[in-house]
Amino acid sequence: LAAVGEDQMVIFGPDDAKHTVTVFTDIDCGYCRKLHREIADFNNEGISVRYLFFPRAGVNSESYDKAVSVWCSDDRETALTLAKNGDEVEPKTCENPVSDQYKLGREVGVSGTPAIMLESGELLPGYIPADKLKAVIRKAKQG
């Protein structure tokens, strides 16, 4: 994961966030959508969220195509929010990292979404509310 630059991610949060998590996400995943609806809560808790795409149905799926369209849009953050709200994102294609992100997710043990990776490298499966995630991060940093 350290080899993936932030220029290859869709990021929500301030540059000076106290904590950063990386979330493998599927646009069509219900719990991923729930997590994204609470993105302001994460940011308010001092947590920056870096998204990597993990279309659970694989690279030849509708979710994959949606992820590519988001990546190829002029405003990725807005496009991702629209897609996660179930709104239509203009279909686009371009050179993109979606299949590489999917492969990386498989390599690090992602089997479902959302999958939240802490700065320590610990992988947490499933949805976690912002206040609980902040407590988990604090505990992980304490050792």
Determine which one of 28, 29, 65, 72 is catalytic.
29
Residue 37 annotated to the active site: no
Measured torsion, CA atoms of residues 126, 106, 58, 90, in degrees rounded to the nearest 10: 70
Beta-bridge partner residues of 21: 49
**Active-site residue (options: 28, 33, 50, 56):** 56
Q: Scan for tokens 């994204």, then name that residue.
A: 36
Residue closest to 71 by CA, chosen among 91, 57, 46: 91
HSE, CB side, 13 Å, CA atoms: give it for residue 5: 2
Closest by alpha carbon to 35, among 48, 20, 25, 46? Answer: 25
Active-site residue, from 28, 32, 50, 65: 32
Catalytic status, residue 32 = yes
Q: Considering 26, 33, 65, 72, which one is annotated as catalytic?
A: 26
Catalytic-residue membership of 33 = no
94 flagged as catalytic? no
Which active-site residues does the annotation give? 26, 29, 32, 56
